[in-house]
Chain A
Amino acid sequence: MFSLPYVAQQVVNGLTLGSIYALVAIGLTIVYGILRLINFAHGDLLMVGAYLALALLLNTALPLGAAVLLPMIIVGGVGVLVERLAYRPLRGAPEVAMLITSLAVSSVIQNGTIMTLSAQPRAFRLPQDLIAQNRVGVVSFSTLDAVSVAMAVGLMALLTLFVTRTRVGIAMRACAENLRAARLMGININQVIAYAFAIGSALAAAAGFMWAGRFGSIEPFMGFLPGLKAFVAAVIGGIGSIPGAMLGGYLLGFSEIFFVGFLPPELSGYRDAFVFTLLLLVLLVRPRGLLSTGAEREG
């Protein structure tokens, strides 16, 4: 059967991939929770984050932390801007109008990147010490893996504090539950929505760095698949629920890695098909996800 180091390796891979999915899924779930918008442009912000990180790594002598943090701040701002320009004029419009607009925003971001930087994939090279392999007992992992997981867990802990301890954070949960009541309480929903986009987009940028580091190359369409898979993760966890997005992200990361790692190698080409088949199965068995919220009560 499988050796222990091999199994441990798969667990590490699942943890890293799961961290990425969880971070992207959080952004999707908080925006969906409030606006009922499936934001198809979310994955493209991951791509923008990766490009910005690469630009900083190549052209500046900034420390690595800054190459992660600065893109998060910038992309957070881009998210707010997109919301302001494209989604806010549609407040109160049918959900389908926002959905179509998000497809259009996605197309603008992708083609804008192609126009300014070309469609050619670029190598995403990290400093040597990040790629270095470490070994603890039977487990071997790169420093990037460790940094990714630690960063994701840290960010999620911060987010949890934010939504349980701060005024705006609690308001965000209130808005997700009942937008009209939130407005009647004097909550400025535009402000809360801007926070949701800023946070979600910043997390996507962080995930973009991890994704690019993991796969070693970036291109303008790279955000499509992780964005879509993160939505699957959010649905598995129960869309609208932040803990659900985290849980769904890790569940999806582990299942995808285990599918490739423990099933016959002929099947590994089907990993993306497996993810969406999983979505269909979850929808069939538990349509509201594992930790469902009130978000889908309209049925």
Chain B
Amino acid sequence: MNKNALFYLALLTGLLFLAQSLLNDYYQRVLAVVFINIILTVSLNLTNGFAGDFSLGHAAFMSIGAYLSAILTLPPASKATLMPQLPTWLGQLELPFVVATILGGLLAASVAAVVGVPVLRLRGHYLAVATLGLMVIVRVVAINWTTITRGAKGINGLPAFTNLWWVFGWAVVTVYVIWRLVNSPYGRAMMAIREDATAAAARGVNVTAHRMLAFCVGAFFAGIAGALWGHLITAITPHSFSFLITFNVVVMLVVGGMGSISGSIVGATVMTLVPEFLRRVETSLSLGGHPLYGLSQIIIAVTITLVMIFRRRGLLGGREVQLPSLFDRRRAAPRARIETTG
């Protein structure tokens, strides 16, 4: 990493210290959700923005990451009462938060690999339906596999490990890994596939392998985000990770602009804060004594439709934001300019 990046990282770290000491619990929580959404959006961007497939599987992968990490971090004593039928070895296992989180991400990535085999051979849009199907499968398994998941009751009393530092750290890791990946030969191959899969294949690019790589890495970070989310809210149920979450991540991605990492960061931030604000307004609004629940979601959905019609490339138009360079005298070397399709 260059000096510039280190400077901005230090600046953010400082701001985070400030935030931690100045903000009340509610705002700290909102900020943590912003970082989790950055992880989700940046990782979804890898599949949907750079590789040109359209996955709607983030809720499913979050769910997998959240459940596995919850089972791994719960103290054996709580597991004995909550899940008495757990296999003994699992019941006595208690792993550090970071290990549990990584394992949650790995399990999500493995599931992605299995689902990817049939689906990634086809055009990208089958992935949309198949990954929504995966969400249904994961939910059904979570409801029915009661010995592990406690069924519809869900698991509560998760240790509240997630704090601003964890989500910030993981967001930095996500952005760094995906930025490196996108700017590597793998990433360029992914974009070549997005533009024209046949031409890419003709040039010797292994299309399926690259789409698979994007899908699995995306799923890994979704699993991480799920683990962080679970240990922030401290309770998970089969219905925690619904279609709504997936949709909202898609909205963040699209508002920021598919194919731009900085766009995803902006999109995730804006589309976390605005709806949060709208929701607070919504609960105080009513029309002739009739509460207007759902209004904020409608506004979001209409916004996204308008974005699609009038500014299809999102706020940043698929480009990357350049932070002002403080150390290089020359203008910072241009990063890979990324164009979105259409």
The answer on direct contact between A and B (beta carbons under 8 Å) is yes
Partner of B247, one of A103, A225, A281, A284: A103
CA distance A119 to B291 in the complex (A): 12
CA distance A90 to B310 in the complex (A): 9
> Is residue B301 contacting chain A, with contact meaning CB distance below 8 A?
yes
Q: Let me know if B301 and A89 touch, CB within 8 A.
A: no
Q: Tell me the chain B residues, 132-182 only, with Cβ under 8 Å from chain A.
A: 132-134, 136-137, 140-141, 143-144
CB contacts (< 8 Å) of B137 on chain A: these are 272-273, 276-277
> Is residue B341 contacting chain A, with contact meaning CB distance below 8 A?
yes
CB contacts (< 8 Å) of B298 on chain A: these are 107-108, 111-112, 115
Q: Tell me the chain A residues, 262-299 only, with Cβ under 8 Å from chain B.
A: 269-273, 275-277, 279-281, 283-284, 287, 296, 298-299
CB contacts (< 8 Å) of A225 on chain B: these are 136
Interface on chain A toward B: helix, strand, loop, or mixed SS? Answer: helix
> Is residue B121 contacting chain A, with contact meaning CB distance below 8 A?
yes
> Is residue B83 contacting chain A, with contact meaning CB distance below 8 A?
no
> Is residue B125 contacting chain A, with contact meaning CB distance below 8 A?
yes
Q: Let me know if A90 and B123 touch, CB within 8 A.
A: no
Point out which of A90, A104, A275 has the most chain B C-beta atoms below 10 A from its C-beta. A104
Q: Tell me the chain B residues, 180-228 only, with Cβ under 8 Å from chain A.
A: 198
> Is residue A12 contacting chain B, with contact meaning CB distance below 8 A?
no
Evaluate whether A114 and B123 lie within 8 angstroms (CB atoms) in the complex, with A90-B308, A100-B304, A279-B133 already known: no
Partner of A97, one of B124, B301, B342: B342
- Nearest chain A CB to B103's CB is how many angstroms away? 23
CB contacts (< 8 Å) of B300 on chain A: these are 107
Q: Tell me the chain A residues, 82-115 only, with Cβ under 8 Å from chain B.
A: 86, 89-90, 93-97, 99-101, 103-105, 107-108, 110-115
Please tell me the number of chain B residues within 8 Å of chain A, measured between CB atoms.
47
> Is residue A232 contacting chain B, with contact meaning CB distance below 8 A?
yes
CA distance A111 to B117 in the complex (A): 35
Q: Tell me the chain B residues, 295-330 only, with Cβ under 8 Å from chain A.
A: 295, 297-298, 300-302, 304-305, 308-309, 312
Evaluate whether A279 and B130 lie within 8 angstroms (CB atoms) in the complex, with A104-B301, A108-B298, A270-B140 already known: yes
> Is residue B119 contacting chain A, with contact meaning CB distance below 8 A?
yes
Q: Let me know if B254 and A299 touch, CB within 8 A.
A: no
Partner of B117, one of A89, A105, A232, A284: A284
CB contacts (< 8 Å) of B308 on chain A: these are 90, 93, 97, 100-101, 104
CA distance A130 to B222 in the complex (A): 48
CA distance A175 to B247 in the complex (A): 31
Q: Let me know if A99 and B54 touch, CB within 8 A.
A: yes
CB contacts (< 8 Å) of B336 on chain A: these are none
Partner of B130, one of A101, A104, A105, A280: A280
CA distance A100 to B342 in the complex (A): 14
Chain B residue with the shortest CB-CB distance to A281: B118
6 residue pairs from A and B, CB less than 8 Å apart: A97-B342, A99-B54, A270-B144, A273-B136, A275-B133, A276-B134
Chain B residues engaging chain A, CB cutoff 8 angstroms: 48, 54, 115, 117-119, 121-126, 128-130, 132-134, 136-137, 140-141, 143-144, 198, 243, 247, 250-251, 254, 258, 292-295, 297-298, 300-302, 304-305, 308-309, 312, 341-342
8 A-B pairs with the lowest CB-CB distances in the bound complex, closest first: A276-B133, A111-B294, A284-B118, A114-B294, A107-B301, A94-B342, A273-B140, A104-B301
Chain A residues engaging chain B, CB cutoff 8 angstroms: 36, 38, 86, 89-90, 93-97, 99-101, 103-105, 107-108, 110-115, 118-119, 224-225, 228, 231-232, 235, 269-273, 275-277, 279-281, 283-284, 287, 296, 298-299
